[in-house]
Amino acid sequence: MTRTFALLALFAVALTSFLTVNAAFRALNTVAPELGLSSLNWKNSPYSPQSPDAPVRTAQQRADTQRWQELGRAAGKALWRSSLTAAFFSFLLAVVLAAIVTSQITRPLSRLADAARRLEAGERNLQLPIPPRQDEVRDLTLTFNSLTTSLGRQEAWRRGLMADIAHDLRTPLSVLRSEIEAMQDGVNPTDDAGLLRLHGEVLLLARLVTDLRTLSLAESGAMDFHVQVLDAAEVLRGLLPGYQRQAAEVGVTLTLSAPVPVALSADPDRLMQVLHNLLSNALRYAAPGPVELSAYSEGQWACLRVRDHGPGFRPDDLSRAFERFYRADASRTRDPGGLRSSGLGLAIARALTEAQGGQIEAKNHPAGGAEFTVRLPGGEVEPG
């Protein structure tokens, strides 16, 4: 880039010098008649001895003509020397200015290139100084800083995720190991109760692995969806019978409000998985009290709502409701059936909903309790 600026400066200086010399000679030609000369081209001048129109001149006139010729040649040489000197110093000045401007432009670009290499090598949380000028280089630097900040957050999130996965896997494995070793040492009897405890931990491990795989497929877009037009009201009616017994065991009353058909487009199996996770969450944290299920239309969306009358979300819990492995109350980690939760239910519900072009929202109801709303693209229910 420096060489380019230098060549452009050299071209500009040469062009300026040529125009300057040309203008000077034009000025001399303009002044020449006032001095008794018709032109600085002495061969074509009437006073030139070679001119056919040259009049008969006296010795004094010939001496004057020769003197003006010498004066013109001297003036031309002086102009050329002045122009070359000016061109030389102008070129030096242009090169210096070009080097300064180029360094100001290339310095942040060099910093960006060096930071990109460090980022490629694994360094995170790089922040470059912001150039003062409002130009494209400043925008590029701001974008790079934003990128590194986002990568740093992703790296921290990934480390936290791996730690959470390791913790949630280590807990049931530790329980299994201690139970088996106690049975081997004769401390605990190998009876049905002990085998049932071992079976519960194995089920938790299997559910955790299955949930992780489901979440990974949904977030990466690798899951297949068989979208159909469904009636949201019928989907909720089909969901209730499977939860009536669990709800009764924890003192929860299930109610349904879906007076009219509500058409939506979704994969029926994945939609049921979303609703299972939401309803299981309501039974786990809202008992005792009623849990309301409803279906309604909202513009282009078909909405399914699950609302409980429990304590609702605390502010910190609400902002983290859909995070992986996040539990609002760590002391309440068991499902109504006595099995521990994997901590991935709401994260899976969000991933499955968004993968089908929908939205999911969690908030506190004004009258109390937590409320989850699933919005999916509407459709047209076929007449039965």
Query: In the predicted model, is pLDDT for residue 316 greater than 90?
Result: no
Report the b/e string of 137-166 with b at 16+ CB within 10 A. Answer: beeebeebbeebeeeeeeeeeeeeeeebbe
DSSP code of residue 366: T
Q: Cα angle at 237 between 236 and 241, to 5 degrees? A: 110
* Mean pLDDT confidence for 51-61: 55
CB atoms within 10 A of CB 258: 19
Lowest-confidence region among 59-68, 104-113, 203-212: 59-68
The C-alpha R_g of the chain, in whole angstroms, comes to: 44
| 3 state DSSP class of 247 | helix
Query: In the predicted model, is pLDDT for residue 85 greater than 80?
Result: no
| Phi, psi of 112, rounded to the nearest 5 degrees | -65, -45
Q: Which of 201, 255, 263, 204 is nearest to 232 (CA)?
A: 263
Look over the chain and give the mean of its residue pLDDT values, rounded to a whole number: 77
CB atoms within 10 A of CB 7: 11
Query: In the predicted model, is pLDDT for residue 42 greater than 50?
Result: no
Position 92 scores a pLDDT of 77
Query: In the predicted model, is pLDDT for residue 15 greater than 90?
Result: no
| Phi, psi of 81, rounded to the nearest 5 degrees | -65, -45
Confidence of residue 61 (pLDDT cuts 50, 70, 90): low
Lowest-confidence region among 42-46, 128-132, 237-241, 274-278: 42-46
Q: 323 in the Ramachandran plot: left (φ > 0), alpha (ψ -120 to 50) or beta?
A: beta
Lowest-confidence region among 228-232, 298-302, 379-383: 379-383
- Tokens 């009049």, residue? 55
Q: Of 139-153, 183-197, 347-361, which has the strongest mean pLDDT?
A: 347-361
The residues near 196 (Cβ < 8 Å, ≥ 6 apart) are none
Q: 166 in the Ramachandran plot: left (φ > 0), alpha (ψ -120 to 50) or beta?
A: alpha
Beta strands at 228-231 and 263-266: parallel, antiparallel or unpaired: antiparallel
Confidence of residue 360 (pLDDT cuts 50, 70, 90): very high
Confidence of residue 337 (pLDDT cuts 50, 70, 90): very low
Distance separating alpha carbons of residues 322 and 318, to the nearest angstrom:
9
- From residue 174, give the alpha-carbon distance in Å to each of 203, 283, 331, 332: 14, 28, 19, 20
Query: In the predicted model, is pLDDT for residue 374 greater than 80?
Result: yes
Q: 300 vs 137, which has greater pLDDT? A: 300
Query: In the predicted model, is pLDDT for residue 139 greater than 60?
Result: yes
Position 339 scores a pLDDT of 47
Position 358 scores a pLDDT of 93
Q: Which of 266, 202, 278, 188 is nearest to 234 (CA)?
A: 266
Query: In the predicted model, is pLDDT for residue 3 greater than 60?
Result: no
Distance separating alpha carbons of residues 367 and 289, to the nearest angstrom:
14
Q: 332 vs 27, which has greater pLDDT? A: 27
Distance separating alpha carbons of residues 313 and 228, to the nearest angstrom:
34
Position 334 scores a pLDDT of 41
Distance separating alpha carbons of residues 370 and 290, to the nearest angstrom:
12
Lowest-confidence region among 14-23, 72-81, 210-219: 14-23
* Mean pLDDT confidence for 326-330: 59
Residues β-bridged to residue 334: 340
Query: In the predicted model, is pLDDT for residue 20 greater than 80?
Result: no
- From residue 278, give the alpha-carbon distance in Å to each of 67, 226, 311, 373: 110, 21, 16, 10
CB atoms within 10 A of CB 361: 15
Lowest-confidence region among 121-130, 228-237, 319-328: 319-328
- Could you tell me if 258 and 240 are in contact, meaning their C-beta atoms sit under 8 angstroms apart? no
- Could you tell me if 173 and 209 are in contact, meaning their C-beta atoms sit under 8 angstroms apart? no
- Could you tell me if 306 and 282 are in contact, meaning their C-beta atoms sit under 8 angstroms apart? yes
Query: In the predicted model, is pLDDT for residue 295 greater than 90?
Result: yes
Distance separating alpha carbons of residues 358 and 377, to the nearest angstrom:
6
Position 109 scores a pLDDT of 80
